[in-house]
Amino acid sequence: MGATSISPKVERVDPADPVTEDIEDPAAPAPRRLSTLRVPKRPRLWFELLLIAVSYGVYSAIRNAAPTRVDKAQENARWIWDVQDALGLAFERTVNHAIEGVTWLIVTMNYYYATLHFVVTIAVLVWLFRCHPGRYGAIRMVLFATTGVALLGYYFYPLAPPRLMEGMDFIDTASVHNTWGSLSAEGSAMASVSNQYAAMPSMHIGWSLWCGITICVLAAPLWLKALGVLYPVVTLLVIVATANHFWLDAVGGVLCVAFGFAVARLWYGRSCFRLPRHVDGPALAGSRDS
């Protein structure tokens, strides 16, 4: 009997069949890198200082580079005033004249307007950096997004503040009392480096509301939470009493803050206040901290 040879069976592959072999996609690491950026990390002091300085410089440059359209700014101010009057809420002039009669109070408000806008915001950022490093980046993103979207209002909607409205008898409190840091007096050093017609939206309200919400949610002492509630409320009174803003400018500021929180939530996938409080380097994506 002759030897029989057994040939190995060769499997034929139909060219029409889909190829199931895994092929490494060069672009595959991109989503992983993006997800890494979205994980809270411990902030670095030098980077944060540089980022804040550069961002504020860019913000100021863009804000002040907006076209100075005085006629349009006056027209928009009159429209705002007429809308508020139609609603029965054109109370700015009454508040302005009433508080101007109390010298110590209006001078205090002038200094409040000129200083606390920066002092409190920086203090909250420092507190977050030291006590809530895991949440710092997300809450800082809210502030940056809030401020960034406000630039659109400054550029496309020039608005004269009440103190600069033509044909109205608002009292320019900072100019009358020669308050330090006055943005009011035309030709002054501060007025020459600031866009006088960038009043909508009010970032005094935007930043104070950001501070107030952050303090109310994250601070432990009840008295500090109470201050968080009071801060934007008092700021609203101040911007109206000093004739720097209409109350509708404050509404614009609130909308900007809402936009900022929405941006941070979309980026991190959850509320910035629910991110881990402490992180040692990159935090685990699913970790939580009360």
> Which DSSP letter does residue 59 get?
H
Q: Give the span between the Cα atoms of 170 and 114, in whole angstroms.
A: 19
* pLDDT tops 90 at residue 264: yes
Contacts of 281 (CB under 8 A, 6+ apart): 41, 42
Q: Give the span between the Cα atoms of 233 and 213, in whole angstroms.
A: 12
**Cα atoms in the Cβ-side hemisphere of radius 13 Å centred on 230:** 6
> How many CB atoms are located within 10 Å of the residue 78 CB?
15
Mean pLDDT is lowest, of 89-103, 179-193, 223-237, 263-277, for 179-193
Q: Which of these, 129, 288, 142, lies nearest to 212 by C-alpha position? A: 142
Q: Which two tokens stand for residue 114?
A: 């000129």
Tokens 């009433």 found at: 98
| β partners of residue 244 | none
* pLDDT tops 90 at residue 186: no
Mean pLDDT in residue range 163-173: 93
Q: Which of these, 156, 127, 159, lies nearest to 140 by C-alpha position? A: 127
* pLDDT tops 70 at residue 221: yes
Q: Give the span between the Cα atoms of 188 and 208, in whole angstroms.
A: 27
* pLDDT tops 50 at residue 223: yes
pLDDT of residue 32: 61
* pLDDT tops 90 at residue 62: no
Q: Give the span between the Cα atoms of 118 and 111, in whole angstroms.
A: 12
pLDDT digits 0-9 by tens, 136-159: 999 999 999 999 999 999 989 999
Record the pTM: 0.80
Q: Give the span between the Cα atoms of 148 and 154, in whole angstroms.
A: 10
* pLDDT tops 50 at residue 23: no
pLDDT of residue 48: 81
Q: Give the span between the Cα atoms of 224 and 216, in whole angstroms.
A: 7
92 CB burial (10 A radius; 0-12, 13-18, 19+): buried
* pLDDT tops 90 at residue 278: no
Position with higher pLDDT, 190 vs 154: 154
CA distances to 8, 90, 200, 230, 252 from 72, in Å:
87, 20, 13, 34, 18
Position with higher pLDDT, 271 vs 46: 271
Position with higher pLDDT, 234 vs 189: 234
- Range ranked top by mean pLDDT from 37-41, 48-52, 185-189: 48-52
pLDDT of residue 69: 83
Q: Which of these, 290, 285, 270, lies nearest to 138 by C-alpha position? A: 270
* pLDDT tops 70 at residue 34: no
* pLDDT tops 90 at residue 89: yes
Mean pLDDT in residue range 35-55: 75
Mean pLDDT in residue range 26-46: 63
| β partners of residue 159 | 198
Q: Which of these, 245, 197, 223, lies nearest to 69 by C-alpha position? A: 197
82 CB burial (10 A radius; 0-12, 13-18, 19+): exposed
